[in-house]
Homo-oligomer: A and B are copies of this chain.
Amino acid sequence: MNLTPLVQSFVLHFGEMGSRWGINRTVGQIYALLFVSARPLNADEIAEALAFSRSNVSMGLKELESWRLVRLLHQPGDRREYFSAPEDVWAIFRTLAEERRKREVDPTLTMLRDALLVQPDNEPDRHAQKRMASMHELIELSTSWFADVQKLDERTLRQLMKLGSAAQKLLLMKDSLKPAATRNKKAAGP
């Protein structure tokens, strides 16, 4: 399989971006290739297209599977494993965010919580704990908010985003119209 220049540049870009992340070049390129491919590909096709060794592709696919970014499937009458990237970019985004949370955010929250349980016995620790507490609050708040928002379906999410900072105005309105709370409550009901 020969890549077109268009696909080539996309794949190379993702390789680069991957290595800026923790993800390595190989994995980024494999994912990019699957993302733009019109049909599922097997490991040999990927290895040939990207000029990687078969074993490197195998490892890359395993990594992508651990991120739940690729789907494994079979073609009738073919024993080989085929891989594809899910269609829905919003779902992909969700998956990515969820995995990153699991791998990066959660351990950090655990570490912070543990640190905040310690009774500080000196000034540096007292200050450090204050700083950690503020970080903990920010992370806690933003991830739980994100988890919440992430549950919305694509259409609603799209609306929310298009609304942009106008959401702020709705908020402020709610805030300044205390007596009108009944009206809001009524209108927002299911």
Question: Which of A's residues lie within 8 Å of B, judged by CB?
Answer: 4, 6-7, 9-10, 13, 17, 19-22, 35-38, 89-90, 93, 103-104, 107-108, 111, 114-115, 118, 120, 122-125, 127-129, 131-132, 134-135, 137-138, 141-142, 144-145, 148-149, 151-152, 155-156, 158-175, 177, 184, 187-188
B residues in contact with A21, CB < 8 Å: 21-22
Query: Hey, which chain B residues are within 8 Å of A160, CB to CB?
Result: 145, 167-168, 171
Number of copies: 2
A10/B115 contact (C-beta < 8 A), A138-B89, A142-B161, A149-B164 known: yes
- Structural contact, A120 and B36, CB atoms closer than 8 A: no
